[in-house]
Amino acid sequence: MHGETITPPRTGKPGRPRAPYKVAPKGLTSAVVEKTREKGRVVSIATRVVFGTMAALVAALGMSKVSRSINTSFVERHNGTDRHRNARKARETYRFSKDWRYHESVTCMSMCVRDFCWPVRTLRIKDDQGKWRKRSPAMAAGLADHIWSISEWLAFPSV
């Protein structure tokens, strides 16, 4: 999904050529949380650096405005919101996607609508008059200057 795709050169020998593979981008820093369970209860939590160095990870956490530790809460919140907004991802339902293209399209649409058309309470800021101003994730990231309507987003020309 992410990273650079490497296509190995053909060797000229008989047999199937090596398949293309992905290489992580340079400078990527990533870590995982590993939970050990006994009888259904978490007994220990360990973290492990997957890409990058521990120093780079500590520096990234130090610059973060939202967290000082490695955790899964943001990914879990994103997945929960995605499942809530996209009926094709609801568990144990008949609304599943039979075609991957439609599933991917609906996922993209729900993520973009969430980012551009949905104000998030925790992203609001006070204006000069002291009133709270609503913002979407796209506004907070500097990608939009207003909260879009869904019809405005649907009418926007795609590339």
Q: Could you report the per-residue pLDDT of 143-156, keeping only the tens digit for each?
A: 999 999 999 988 98
**1 band by pLDDT with thresholds 50, 70 and 90:** low
The ranges assigned to domains in the chain are 1-7+21-68
Confidence (pTM): 0.60
E strand spans, 69-115: none
E strand spans, the chain: 4-6, 21-23, 30-38, 41-51, 125-126, 132-133
- Report the SS3 class of residue 29: coil
Tell me whether residue 148 is exposed, middle or buried, using C-beta atoms within 10 angstroms of its C-beta: 0 to 12, 13 to 18, 19 or more: buried
Neighbouring CB atoms inside 10 A of 21's CB total: 11
Q: Mean pLDDT score of the chain, rounded to an integer? A: 88
Which token pair is 2? 């992410």
pLDDT digits (tens, 9 = 90+) for 66-109: 888 888 888 888 888 888 888 887 777 777 777 888 888 888 88
Residue whose entry in the numeric block shows the structure tokens 């996607």: 97
Partners of residue 32 on adjacent β-strands: 48
Q: Rounded to whole angstroms, how far apart are CA atoms 45 and 19?
A: 36
